[in-house]
Amino acid sequence: MSRQHGLFKSNNGGKSWQPTDFPARSSGFSLKPYQLALSPNYLADETIFIATGLSLYRSTDGGRTWQSLAAGAGPESFQAQQVALSPNFASDQTLLASTPLSVYRSTNGGDTWQPVLTSGVETSTTDVLSFSPDGQTAYARFGYGTSLFVSTDGGDTWQPQPSGQDESFSITSTAVDTDRTLTAAVEFEKKLLQTPAWQNISEVLPKGLSTLNALAYDPDGKLYAAGKGGIVYSDDNGQSWQTFSTNGLGENPNITHLAVSTSTLLVALNDGALFRFNEGDNRWLNVSIIK
């Protein structure tokens, strides 16, 4: 998706694409790219949320119609930069949305919201908002800050955690594994941090990568990291790494987004191109919406 072209969806792994009615904008300003979040039960409930940095939208019919959501009692939307759905969304209807200054929680699918965390200082972004796979542990962080906030009750209450890092920094991507370990990629650097207390696990990363932009765990717990220079993966949660094929992505690809399933990887490059790699393939297939 993009501001200029709106949101497209594919029902066949990217072989073909259909536009939705999400409102595209030819102009506008936001510190963060639009963020898309699908219900874990999407095939049944067709629920999608999009945080634009200036507003939060919800669709419950697979993108055919959209509703702008408000944080308070009035009709105005709120400046949602990130949105995260509980893995148990189908049953608990719980999700989180973050603005530059606060984290909000809804337990009725986004109909109403309650503020559950404030930054305490003036910030311009939130760079972490994630649930663990069990839906009980959640993480939040305000950009260029030093504190990571952790919830153990599905985002209802929060506690600051020691950072272990003296300098402020911004995070581009996070992933949480089944034992609730949060792995984070630091903006503009080839640095990976991991909870607790932000341990630096970057020393063993392959030299081919110059920056890290995207992280993801597959259903079996394998950790993938991608950025400028390609993609790598780890079978031992970041203690050692192997290089994944970039055949078909071009020379020195700059990967900005990554999604992983049991047998398929999807990546987006900095020029907007989309590629898919299926288990058993020997090269990446260009499945871009606009070529």
pLDDT in tens, 19-65: 777 765 544 444 467 888 999 999 999 999 999 888 899 999 988 89
199-248 pLDDT, tens per residue? 899 999 998 899 999 999 999 999 999 999 999 999 999 999 999 999 99
Residue 286's DSSP bridge partners are: 275
Give percent of the chain with pLDDT exceeding 90: 62
The residues pairing with 240 across neighbouring beta strands, listed in sequence order, are none
For the chain, the average pLDDT equals 87
d(CA 179, CA 170): 24
> In this predicted model, what pLDDT tens digit does every residue of 159-170 receive, in sequence order?
998 766 666 788
Give the mean pLDDT of 3-13: 69
Under the banding of pLDDT at 50, 70 and 90, the label for residue 120 is confident
Please indicate whether residue 29 or residue 249 has the higher confidence score (pLDDT): 249
CA gap 218, 223 in Å, rounded: 7
So what's the pLDDT on residue 111? 94
Q: What is the pLDDT of residue 134?
A: 94
| pLDDT at residue 3 greater than cutoff 70 | no
